[in-house]
Structure 1
Amino acid sequence: MIKVLLVDDEDIEREAMAEIIPWKKLDMELVDMAWNGIEGLEKIRMYIPDIVITDIKMPVMDGIQLIRNTKELYPDILFVVLSGYGEYGYTSRAMELGIRHYILKPCDEEKIVEVLQGVKKELAELENKRKSEQEYRSTFYQMLPRVKEQILGILITQKEVSKADKILLEKFMEDTRNSFALLGIRSPQELDQLDQFVLTNILTELLGVENIYMSTSTKDEMIYLIPEEIVENLRPLIIKVHKEYGKYKQTGLRSAISRTGGIEEVSSLYSQLQELFFLGDSEGRMEFISFDFLKKDNSVMILDYDRIREAKDYAEVMFEIYTSFAKMEMRGFSKNRIADSFRFFLKIFCEKEECEAKDGDIWELLEIVTEECAAYLKLSLPDTKDGNRMKHILYSIYQNIKNPDLSLQYLAKEVLFINEDYFGRFFYRYTNEKYSSFLVRVRVNLAKRLLEFNPDIRISELAEQTGYPADGQYFAKVFKKNTGMVPSEYRKMLIDG
């Protein structure tokens, strides 16, 4: 039964309305009456009616103030306003408060019933809307873990997120800071649904549900999006997770934690997570490996996924691939380990399962990696005579980058076997840069990146790695001309942060 309160300062009209309205026929109950806004508000608190019929002009507290005060306490109560001729100023203020139902005094039974039926219909619509919203919320919260899992799964694979998923993502993250890390926990065996449930339960108990924003799974991994602030103290907790999971299933888990970044960087963080697992295997199947832990040992970002992804043309892709190769050489990687590293990169970055390079042929491997990477980034050179010639030039430059005699004349005559004037004109036409300027830029940028990777490298070794005499004097001059500081100053800047 719909509860109704009637508020009117005129006794005759109040009593008449109470008598003439067919309350039961309308499925309504007149719970009480009041003669002004103050009394009306007290009885509203007492009965919390569904509908209040109120005169608009009353002493002590008028209908407008009664509506305003009631809306603050009970925003779902609907009002029917009684107004007389000449009270437009009051009714316009009522409209501003969202009131939709009015009865002009003097009024008859037919008009009152018509308005109340309209209010009754609105109440039914609001009730249906509330039920729908409750059902939606119930369904939403039931589906929430699965929805989050799907969205994180999309984010780590860098697939385009739909508009609906973007809205949900914003909703999930509205109360969090935009700096996260990815935690990966890997099993030597496939993880079934029960395994995933147990592992997530253990992790949630140790970290707290508020610190696991999202999770998703692959065949043998669980991936969790966690806040930046807990990363520093994560290691002992993860070792405990491994231990507790071992009581459920006797298997050795391994975990990795990425660097921190924004939600838009999740795919990069996931790529790095995979590289950390790969490096952990190389170091003897480390139980827990993190970006910060490896950074101290200069072991991280041999393949810089972020910089490769930001390459603007084919030449930049080639530079990034060669730089990775140079880092591996500095680390003393064998040919097989270099090949494995690049094959792993192709699998993670380009989703390429096979690499057709011959065993032991590093330069063929670098060419294939560059081609696949450029194609994936849509930066390939055209398959034309000029495009293929430019590729050959670039590979020849990097194959001979350590040669101090790699002048335009040497490259044209001794390596490419073409006319040096033609080569100079062709290179400038294709790159809009002189060959000599290009070579210096590449060598200096390579030196900077190798210093970033290993600040302890000797300047003489750095000079040799980049094609300058081992005494380092000429190298230092070129480096300073292009960076504003000598290599030792640049190294100090890196160390000091």
Structure 2
Amino acid sequence: MLLADDERIILEGISKVVDWESLNTELVDTAKNGLEAYEKIVQHQPHIVISDIKMPGLDGLSLVKKVHEEFPSIQFILLSGFSEFDYARTAMQYGVKNYLLKPCNELKISEALNEVITEIKCTEDQKCFIDHLKKDLDKAKPYIKAQLLTELLSSNKDLAYYQKLIDVEISDQQVKLILFQLESEFSYEHIHAIKNIGSEIFGTPMLNTNIGEYALFLVETDGGAEKLQQQVKQIRDRFSQFYKIDTTVAISGGDYVRNVRNLYLEALECLKHRFYLGEGSIITKADITRGEPDRQNGFVFDEQQMSMLIKSGNVIDVSREISGFFEKLMDLRLGIPMTKSYCIQLFLAIVQTGNSERMQIYLDGISSIMQVDTVQQMHEYIKQAAVEITQDYFESYKSKQSTVIGRVISIMNEHLGNPELSLKLVAGKMLYMNADYLGKLFKLETGERFSSYLTKLRIEKAIEHIQGTEDVKIVTLAELIGFGDNPQYFSQVFKKYTGYTPTEYRRVP
């Protein structure tokens, strides 16, 4: 409190009569005129000034005006005579609401003071409340900033709208958006872990949030693309080390913060190419525009060629053909629906080559192909079916080959004594097959040429006769096993095979 009046009796009277302490106030000083009052107001800056409206040097109204301009929060109670009361009302423009007519007693003064004190306390409470909110707002600004940017991702409003609405300033520098997708079942703990690891490695990203199953980071581009790639790999590797879960990452191109929604849509578009590049990839805008292949000619593959390869039973050739099919499809990037359509076409061409019983099982699996997440998974699924069907053909051929070669060996044993017995004779006269084909088949099945196998059979038959018959002539034995009338040649072959002549072999213990 400060009291100003040019009448000493009133000044001293009010000073002594009013119980300042009971009003929870302190009278800090008094002044005998307006000029002195102004000086002491500047010195003490009291909450309330009780001032006479008529004072020498500087009247009360002028004092109110001057103080209001410099210290607008100081409240005034004006003392005036009845004739001055209308004049005093002009002080209302400076916020003066309390007037006391002279003479006034302690009760009137106390009532006026209580009214002003209540108003001051109310104002201070409001100020404290607002200050507290502002402090809380300052603390919350990083979170508000993140929320602002998160809303920008899914809203058509511009950056200026949100900055004005929330009163948060965001510099409009160049940034990139990094989006992480977890490749297995996950909980919020995993998203939270990605965000923490990312914040540590990126430093202080402009935005660190999650939208559904995605963890997002908005980072400045001043570090360069190579550094950003290294940071992303660090985040993926550390997260995988802790949780054994792989992640696919999409990195947008660079743009200003005000275009963050476009960056988000671009990152989502990058993520779609996970279908082509596979789970666990780091996908950038360059990856989805790479090559720009000619799509005008569409995509053509030879179903008949695939069918012939499968029926040949050659698993290696079939696997190579399917890999080539998917390499072409990956380069074209025809779009997910069209890519799946071509894969279904290939799958049908493959399964129709197999037997009808197994075909229905494969046809039931078409829905599984449509639901796979990546081209690599589709590749493996189709390749597995093709290999199984090709293997069936191989086993079938192998069984048929074994039957044919078994028949050839039986013929060789039956006609062992015929000196004219040969591959050409067996193939052309007995089995009605191509001799070259039968020879290859025989070598594939037995590991030996027909002639070598026949010689082995004849020598083994000769050994049986030598061991089972005490007195058998070499001439007779040669004729018996198909060497005709050439016992000398028989002896040479026998020695080459056993290390002994027929005569020497007979004496071997």
Query: TM-score under structure 2 normalisation?
Result: 0.46
Q: Whose Rg is larger?
A: 2
